[in-house]
Structure 1
Amino acid sequence: MLKIQEIRELIKLVDQSNIDEFVYEHDGSKIKMKKKTAETVVAQPAKTVIEEVQAPKVVQPAAVKQVAAVEQEVNVAVKETENLHKVVSPMVGTFYQSSSPDAEAYVKVGSKVTKDSIVCIVEAMKLFNEIEAEINGEIVEVLVSDGQLVEYGQPLFLVKPE
């Protein structure tokens, strides 16, 4: 088998050559390299386009009211989420809502939690880590699904503090 340095040298040689594809087979191992082939682009002279200027459209008052109502709903939703505490994943791993597949979830929307309450498990490298709520309150939203991969710092739950 080729060493990594030898493979790098092969890549450089193929890259610098006119070869588009290279295949190397030895003792059941196979290395195949392909260059990205550049597409030929034919440039055409630009055409001069003169557009007719139209008068601006008049926005109907009803549409303005609808936009204002939507903006107000968004602002209310943002303010509500600003007051919520996010329980975040302390590590990269797999999120589990319960201790086993047939067990009931630790928490669900509406569950009351204390700062020491276990809300889920994050499995990392075959270790099952119990995650605590970190705050007294009520679970407002579960942001990930059971069995989903989670990243470090990714929000898992939204908790309304008491």
Structure 2
Amino acid sequence: MSDAWLQSVLRLVEQYGIAEFEYEDDTRHILVSNGRISEIGPVRHEEPVPAQQSIEIPAPFIGIFRSTNPDPRQPAELPRLVRSGEIIGYLQVEMLLRPVLAPRDGVLAKQLVGDGALADYGKPLFRFHSARR
């Protein structure tokens, strides 16, 4: 497969000031961040393996917890693999939705609050297992 399409995408990313672009297919996983290209390697489809240490992800601010953006798509089943900085939920304040991000790569194991529940600052939202390094 030619990488001409990747060069075209890089030009568009730079032209429009896009900070990050990620592409994955059956054979490759590419991450473009701040103009740097990282080929993460061949795609491996494995079952999530929980790490030994478990933490709780707290609410970074107060708001009504939403496990998904209120659009018609269904939320992903738990447990599931997540990457550092991936949006794993939302806190709603009035009409504003603020994202809750995964603190690092790992397994999002369990949701600890119900959808639509008020989440005070610091309230645990998820059970999370860090990826092994």
Provide the aligned C-alpha RMSD in A. Answer: 1.9
1:72-119: per-residue Cα shift (whole Å, max 9, x none)? Answer: xxxxxxxx9x921221101111011111152222x4421100111100
Partner of 1:32: none
Q: Whose helix fraction is larger, Structure 1's or Structure 2's?
A: 1
Displacement of 1:147 in angstroms is 0.8
Q: Which secondary structure does the structure 2 equivalent of 1:160 belong to?
A: strand
Asked if the contact 1:93–1:124 (Cα under 8 Å) also holds between the matched residues in 2, the reply is: yes
Percent identical: 22
Partner of 1:91: 61
Rounded to whole Å, the distance in 2 between the matches of 1:138 and 1:145 is 19
Q: Whose strand fraction is larger, Structure 1's or Structure 2's?
A: 2
Q: Does 1:130 align with 2:99?
A: yes
TM-score (norm 2): 0.55
Rounded to whole Å, the distance in 2 between the matches of 1:100 and 1:125 is 13
TM-score (norm 1): 0.46
Rounded to whole Å, the distance in 1 between the matches of 2:55 and 2:104 is 8
> Which amino acid in 1 is paired with 2:110?
E
* Structure 1 segment 40-51 matched on structure 2, within 5 A: none
> Which amino acid in 2 is paired with 1:113?
V
Q: Of 144, 149, 154, which residue of structure 1 is paired with 2:113?
A: 144
Higher RCO, Cα 8 Å, sep 6+:
2
- Structure 1 unaligned segments of length 5 or more: list them: 1-79
Rounded to whole Å, the distance in 2 between the matches of 1:127 and 1:137 is 27
Rounded to whole Å, the distance in 1 between the matches of 2:95 and 2:61 is 13
- Structure 2 unaligned segments of length 5 or more: list them: 1-49
> Which amino acid in 2 is paired with 1:129?
R
Asked if the contact 1:96–1:147 (Cα under 8 Å) also holds between the matched residues in 2, the reply is: yes
- Where does structure 1 differ by over 4 angstroms across 4 or more consecutive aligned residues? none
Rounded to whole Å, the distance in 2 between the matches of 1:155 and 1:112 is 19
Partner of 1:36: none
